[in-house]
């Protein structure tokens, strides 16, 4: 492939009122982790006027044909979540877009939840960014459950357990027990709690014992059960309840699960989720 090397000034902004056009290009590829559901989330947040620091770019007007885009979102301090995709089998334009952006940004980068098909574009970009250093990519299995399957899920709550939405007061606990927390991730957690779907379980004393949130990808995420309450089915309950809420929006349900997390993968597979891809998360050291 011929690598495109572009100046950042060449980038064309895809304005928020054009995001629905971009989203529709991915209507037949809803299994893509950084596609239809991701864009839908940001469209909804923009309509709510949440004051988000989010911009979307492409190389030129040809994005209307091949869907090549990069979306930059700041959810936590001096770190940019970088989402990207293309419908083209040739990754040249995407490589050029990633390189043009990463060479001009002055903040840290988090290549967020990209699929196996797009991995060569990230590898190529990182290989050219000699001064920048990145952590080893986190590999996760990308699971899917159809909305028809989710409709069959039982959401019966055990005696003595109550369900509620997560609240801002829960953010510190959620962040502290998140295995992938880090510098300023509390801001990301607070944003998710305030602006997206969440579910939490509390014991008879009102103490938080399990929870699950929806990630910007539109997928399940940050699933956690207090250590004293594990192996009692609360993780499965959180998945089933939040999956129902997502499916009510006429959407299939997706979830990234760390490849080595065998118990969690078994739980999703027992519920009927099917692994359809590998997706990656690559964080610049900062």
- Return the DSSP state at 243: H
What pTM was computed for the model?
Answer: 0.92
Give per-10-residue mean pLDDT for the chain (286 aa). 44 95 96 96 85 88 97 80 96 95 86 97 89 86 98 95 96 94 87 94 95 96 92 95 96 97 96 98 84
Q: How far apart are CA 54 and CA 52, in angstroms?
A: 6
The per-residue pLDDT for 8 is 46
Q: Are 255 and 219 in contact (CB under 8 A)?
A: yes
Angle at 98 between CA 93 and CA 101, to 5 degrees: 125
The per-residue pLDDT for 3 is 36
The per-residue pLDDT for 152 is 97
The per-residue pLDDT for 108 is 84
* Distant-in-sequence, close-in-space partners of 77: CB < 8 Å, separation ≥ 6: 183, 184, 187
Domains defined for the chain, CATH in brackets:
8-134 (3.40.630.30), 147-278 (3.40.630.30)
E strand or H helix that includes residue 101: helix 92-102
The per-residue pLDDT for 285 is 76
Q: Are 121 and 28 in contact (CB under 8 A)?
A: no
The per-residue pLDDT for 212 is 98
């Amino acid at each position: 492939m011929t690598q495109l090397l572009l100046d950042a000034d060449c980038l064309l902004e895809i304005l928020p009122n054009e995001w629905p056009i971009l989203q529709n290009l991915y209507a037949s590829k809803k299994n893509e982790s950084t596609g239809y559901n991701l864009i839908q989330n940001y469209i909804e947040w923009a309509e709510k006027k949440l004051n988000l620091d989010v911009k979307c770019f492409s190389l030129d007007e040809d994005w209307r044909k091949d869907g090549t885009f990069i979306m930059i979102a700041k959810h936590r301090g001096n770190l940019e979540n970088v989402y990207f995709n293309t419908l083209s089998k040739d990754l040249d334009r995407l490589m050029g877009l990633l390189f043009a952006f990463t060479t001009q940004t002055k903040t840290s980068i988090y290549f967020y939840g990209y699929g196996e098909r797009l991995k060569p574009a990230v590898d190529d970009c990182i290989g050219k960014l000699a001064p920048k250093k990145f952590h080893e990519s986190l590999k996760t299995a990308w699971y899917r459950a159809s909305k028809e399957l989710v409709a069959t899920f039982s959401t019966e709550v055990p005696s003595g357990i109550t369900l509620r939405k997560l609240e801002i007061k829960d953010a510190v606990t959620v962040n502290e027990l998140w295995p992938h927390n880090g510098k300023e991730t509390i801001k990301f957690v607070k944003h998710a709690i305030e602006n997206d779907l969440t579910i939490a379980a509390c014991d008879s004393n009102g103490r938080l014992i399990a929870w699950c949130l929806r990630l910007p990808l539109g997928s399940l995420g940050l699933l956690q059960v207090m250590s004293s309450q594990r192996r009692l089915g609360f993780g499965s309950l959180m998945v089933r309840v939040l999956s129902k809420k997502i499916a009510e929006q006429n959407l299939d349900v997706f979830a990234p699960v760390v490849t080595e997390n065998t118990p969690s993968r078994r739980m999703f597979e027992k519920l009927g989720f099917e692994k359809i891809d590998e997706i990656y998360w690559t964080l610049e050291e900062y």
